[in-house]
């Protein structure tokens, strides 16, 4: 990995401010950084992303730490922008055939607009239904996410041992993802569904034909619920 990538955010922060800077022009720095990271090649970008953890040398709650946090959020946003441009994010997977669930919107004869998720293989093969797995509503997924996430947040003390193991391990992506989970868990429980949070901490949900739903978070934690 190139040093300029590993210390990319740190170099910006250190180059722009000190703890004594009276008024930090956060908005301007955020804009400039956002434009700059958009122009990075994928190879450079992945190194920037892997390197972007708050340096231990920064003062707790200090100006540098705050700016660094803002800029690393930009990196996460850019990551998703790039992923979205190239892949379909497999956030909901069919436990029957392994296909990705996709969101379908339709209007009933009575004029009611309905949004449901169904297995992506349902509409393939010339109209032949190749997978009979169930439809799932938006609400079912969002409820499951809120419930699972709050379960982790409320019992985060119990997860510390596992998280520490993850962030000391060799799997770079797991280290990154676990730190995301830890950071967001520290912010406390959520009252309602938050799609940005879901993208930051959830790996995927698997839908099984017998009614079970399984949710997996980025740190590897899984929950399973039975629906009707």
Instruction: Please give the residue ranges that form the binding site for Zn ion (CB under 5 A).
Output: 94, 96-97, 99, 119, 121, 131, 133
CB of 209 to Zn ion, least distance (A): 8
Residue nearer to Zn ion on the CB measure, 84 or 98: 98
Helix (H, G, I), strand (E, B) or coil at 16: helix
Q: Give whole-number Cα distances, 221 to 53, 87, 180, 197, 202, in Å.
A: 22, 24, 13, 16, 10
Residues 167, 42, 195, 29: is their CA dihedral positive or negative? positive
CB of 127 to Zn ion, least distance (A): 16
CB of 204 to Zn ion, least distance (A): 14
Residue nearer to Zn ion on the CB measure, 75 or 94: 94
Residue nearer to Zn ion on the CB measure, 194 or 209: 209
CB of 97 to Zn ion, least distance (A): 3
Closest by Cα among 67, 54, 61 to 28 = 67
Residue nearer to Zn ion on the CB measure, 26 or 91: 91
Phi then psi for 64, rounded to 5 degrees?
Answer: -65, -40
Phi then psi for 2, rounded to 5 degrees?
Answer: -85, 135
CB of 47 to Zn ion, least distance (A): 37
Residue nearer to Zn ion on the CB measure, 24 or 97: 97
Which string of b and e fits 171-185 if b means at least 16 CB within 10 Å?
Answer: eeebbbbbbbbbbbb
**Using only C-alpha atoms, what is the Rg of the chain?**
21
């Amino acid at each position: 990995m190139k040093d300029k990538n590993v210390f990319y955010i740190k170099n910006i922060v250190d180059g722009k401010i000190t703890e004594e800077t009276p008024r930090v022009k956060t908005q301007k720095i955020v804009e400039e950084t956002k434009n700059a990271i958009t122009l990075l090649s994928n190879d450079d970008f992945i190194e920037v992303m892997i390197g972007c953890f708050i340096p231990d040398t920064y003062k707790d709650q200090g100006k540098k730490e705050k700016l660094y946090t803002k800029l690393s959020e930009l990196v996460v946003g850019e990551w998703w922008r790039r992923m979205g441009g190239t892949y379909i994010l497999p956030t909901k997977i069919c436990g029957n055939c392994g296909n990705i669930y996709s969101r379908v919107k339709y209007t009933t004869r009575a004029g009611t607009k309905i949004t449901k998720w169904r297995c992506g293989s349902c509409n393939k093969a010339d109209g032949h239904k190749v997978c009979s797995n169930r439809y799932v509503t938006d609400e079912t997924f969002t409820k499951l996410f809120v419930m699972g996430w709050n379960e982790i947040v409320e019992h985060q003390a119990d997860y510390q041992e596992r998280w520490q193991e993850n962030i000391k391990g060799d799997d770079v992506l797991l280290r990154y993802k676990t730190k995301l989970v830890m950071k967001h868990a520290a912010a406390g429980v959520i009252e309602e569904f938050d799609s940005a949070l879901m993208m930051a901490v959830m790996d995927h949900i698997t839908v099984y034909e017998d009614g079970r739903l399984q949710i997996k978070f980025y740190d590897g934690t899984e929950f399973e619920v039975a629906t009707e």
